[in-house]
Structure 1
Amino acid sequence: MDKHQDLFLAMVAGETSGDLLAGLVLQGLANDFPGLRSAGIGGPRMAQAGFDAWWPSERLAVHGYSAELVRRIWGILRIRKQLVQRLTAQPPKLFVGVDAPDFNLGVEERLRAQGIKTVHFVCPSIWAWRPERVEKIRRSADHVLCIFPFEPSLLAQHGIAATYVGHPLANVIPLQPNRAAARQQLGLPLDGEVLAVLPGSRASEVSYIAKPFFLAAARLLQARPSLTIIVPAVPALRARIDALAAECGILDRIRVLDGQSHLALEACDCTLIASGTATLEAALYKRPMVISYHMHAISWRLMLRKQLQPWVGLPNILCQDFVVPELLQAAATPEALAEAVTQWLDAPRLDPARLAQLEQRFHDLHLELRRDTPKLAADAIQKILSV
């Protein structure tokens, strides 16, 4: 294939993390396809690479089996139908679905049936829950780009072609974080304990998790008056977070940041954090953490029925061990959360070996995930296009 030939690439990225990954794919393809045209559903990072967003990524952002999903499902299905119709009328050389598997695998299956090559970027976590998805992946994707090293061999067992491209966060986050510089940038004291509280980036997460997190923070502040607590907040959720902090009586004792979650994780001694990609970010910053999650009772029961591993947090899954505590659902009481955080804050004095061991495991994990993701993804896509 002439590398200067125009290429029309269709993409769908769900949420902020998908936008980051898709932006890297476009970055990797730019040198080989100067006339690259890309369109579909995306966010600001993709737009910086010249992507034409027919719909913004946030239109796909929903959570679990919540009432929010029920309200929005018809709009999402309408977008999917219109997208498939548009791509059928104007077929791309390749469709890349980035994350958002409930949406993208359906699009990929329909397009692949029409002879359009498809790639799915980020293997759905069939190794953690919902193993039945493997059949859907087999029908939908010509190739899967994987961000964890063990996934290609797992997919190969099911006859699915895949390539490990590394986790892009491992290149974004420095191998040796600089706590002092991060504190200086945030205007925090260089000495003293700092706790980062991350109650999630979705409205539904904040609704369920923020209050027990803030009540735990109140207990910690009572026991450790000099503790500095920082709370990175998605700007759209800032008012809700401020209101919940005020309700828990700590608004004037904490510092709510507009975003800046990476700086907060680099600056802190420990983080109380909602399960999700942010836990991997915390691990790459080599920070001890307490992972927690809370959701609607029906969603929780459905998840438990399909869960394959004893761990929920990504650091524990990747290390195949409870290297950091997980307090989920009914176990996520303010008292238990505060106690688990206290153990980490006391560790430099009472259990430095535990802290050193955790930092070493996270350092090794960082090295394993660090790859040239844009190039590896672009190389895999080139091979698919040349077949």
Structure 2
Amino acid sequence: MNNAALVAGETSGDLLAGLLLDGLRARWPDLHSMGIGGPQMAQRGFEAWWPHDKLSVHGFGWEVLRRYREIVGIRKQLKQRLLAQPPDVFIGVDAPDFNLDLEADLRAQGIKTVHFVCPSVWAWRPERLEKIKRSVDHVLCIFPFEPELLASHGIAATYVGHPLAQVIPMQPDRAQARAKLGLAAEGRVVAILPGSRESEVRHLVDVFFQAAVLIKKAQPATQFVVPAIPALQQRIEAAAAASGLGQALKVVRGQSHAVLAACDVTLIASGTATLEAALFKRPMVIAYRMGALSWQIMRRKKLQPWVGLPNILCREFVVPELLQDDTTPQALAKEVLTWLDAVAHAPETIQRLENRFSALHAELQRDTPTLAAHAIASIL
């Protein structure tokens, strides 16, 4: 294989695609990769025709409509470019709303297509199964139960493990992470992760900081740390300055893994970051808010009682979830304080959670780059 086109949307997709490129380049050292991606992909020699944050939207209402024309225009230009110079394979990394239609068009013209990260048809929008079958030659699955589900619908798939389980240590070093971030070695630290998309931060950052104020009132010595992706750092720093938390709140540039390793508990937006928190074996409170119209549509399409990945994978509420109208400062603070109390006075509760997350970590730990490269080679 000489050429691979990839599309990754958002920060999590960039990370996954970067790890995938490690496997592809190990198997095909002269590989040229191009398309839409971010800094992790660029470090592997990827040629980004557009930056990955151009695709960073969520929801169903105005939040998507205001970006619709730009995103559709990018997809049209990308398709024309790839049809003019066909790659050996196209790999869509997550971003199913963008990638599946593009994959269908490319596959119809004879280009091999792979989708990395099975869309969560087991959680909501099962109607996507027919589109997946039409759009892709192979799906690379990051959760062990997905290939069997896809096979029952005639879709070829391979479980490759979750790449994050490879890069996150089984036993994180809290002391080292705190030293790296300039945090006190002792005392309680709460990590606040309000999301990696502008719309997520807009809906969550202020309520998260208001919850932090209440937590600090109850436990004045608590320190708070927020990892901000560069594109959203200014927005988060402005909210931090307005929160009144002062020196108790520290905003750092990126370094979300160090922040999760350093903390005792995390207050976190639902998404891939919740799985990262689980792999770091950290207690968490999962929250999410979106526009009212998006929420109504999402709620009707939901197939499971859970939205947080740790709960979905464990098949029960091992950590609390507070969604939409339940995402209040008071409710968030109460749940975080419950975890902090367990850290101080009920270590057996924390140990049970850590054991559950360690078992999950082991289940997801595979040589993802190599397995993915083998699966892609099998369809070429």
**TM-score, length-normalised on structure 2?**
0.97
Query: Which structure 1 segments of 5+ residues have no match?
Result: 1-5
Give the partner amino acid of 1:84.
K
State the number of aligned residues.
Answer: 380
For 2:203 and 2:26, the matched residues in 1 are separated by: 45
Q: Determine the structure 2 residue equivalent to 1:3.
A: none
Cα gap change, 1:262/1:9 in structure 2, threshold over 3 Å: closer, same or farther?
Answer: same
In the alignment, is the contact (CA less than 8 A) between 1:194 and 1:230 conserved in 2? yes
Cα gap change, 1:221/1:29 in structure 2, threshold over 3 Å: closer, same or farther?
Answer: same
Q: Determine the structure 2 residue equivalent to 1:173.
A: 168
1:256-281 Cα deviation digits (max 9, x unpaired) = 11111111110111011111111111
Q: Determine the structure 1 residue equivalent to 2:95.
A: 100
Query: Which structure 2 segments of 5+ residues have no match?
Result: none
In the alignment, is the contact (CA less than 8 A) between 2:17 and 2:93 conserved in 1? yes
Alignment of 1:27-176 (within 5 A): 27-176=22-171
For 1:137 and 1:219, the matched residues in 2 are separated by: 45
Alignment of 1:207-222 (within 5 A): 207-222=202-217
Matched, 1:329 2:324: yes
For 1:33 and 1:182, the matched residues in 2 are separated by: 35
Post-superposition offset of 1:47: 2.1
Q: Determine the structure 2 residue equivalent to 1:241.
A: 236
Q: Determine the structure 1 residue equivalent to 2:361.
A: 366
Matched, 1:338 2:333: yes
Give the partner amino acid of 1:330.
D
Post-superposition offset of 1:34: 2.8
In the alignment, is the contact (CA less than 8 A) between 2:189 and 2:224 conserved in 1? yes
Q: Determine the structure 2 residue equivalent to 1:232.
A: 227
In the alignment, is the contact (CA less than 8 A) between 1:242 and 1:251 conserved in 2? no
Post-superposition offset of 1:233: 1.4
Alignment of 1:240-259 (within 5 A): 240-259=235-254
Q: Could you say what secondary structure the match of 2:50 adopts?
A: strand
In the alignment, is the contact (CA less than 8 A) between 1:147 and 1:165 conserved in 2? yes
Post-superposition offset of 1:20: 1.9
Give the partner amino acid of 1:142.
D
For 1:106 and 1:186, the matched residues in 2 are separated by: 42
Matched, 1:306 2:301: yes
For 2:160 and 2:57, the matched residues in 1 are separated by: 27
Post-superposition offset of 1:24: 2.2
In the alignment, is the contact (CA less than 8 A) between 2:274 and 2:310 conserved in 1? yes
Q: Could you say what secondary structure the match of 1:196 adopts?
A: strand
Q: Determine the structure 1 residue equivalent to 2:346.
A: 351
**TM-score, length-normalised on structure 1?**
0.95
Q: Which moved more, 1:62-71 or 1:107-116?
A: 62-71
For 2:219 and 2:28, the matched residues in 1 are separated by: 57
1:197-219 Cα deviation digits (max 9, x unpaired) = 11111111111111111111101
Q: Could you say what secondary structure the match of 2:199 adopts?
A: helix
* 194, 199, 222: which one aligns with 1:199: 194
Q: Determine the structure 2 residue equivalent to 1:288.
A: 283
Matched, 1:223 2:218: yes
In the alignment, is the contact (CA less than 8 A) between 1:12 and 1:40 conserved in 2? yes
Cα gap change, 1:31/1:356 in structure 2, threshold over 3 Å: closer, same or farther?
Answer: closer
Q: Could you say what secondary structure the match of 2:27 adopts?
A: coil
Post-superposition offset of 1:66: 4.4
In the alignment, is the contact (CA less than 8 A) between 2:10 and 2:197 conserved in 1? no
Runs of 4+ in structure 1 over 6 Å off: none
Give the partner amino acid of 1:359.
E
Identity rate, percent: 65
For 2:233 and 2:206, the matched residues in 1 are separated by: 14
For 2:325 and 2:213, the matched residues in 1 are separated by: 19
What's the RMSD between the two structures over aligned residues?
Answer: 1.3
Give the partner amino acid of 2:64.
L
* 10, 26, 35: which one aligns with 2:21: 26
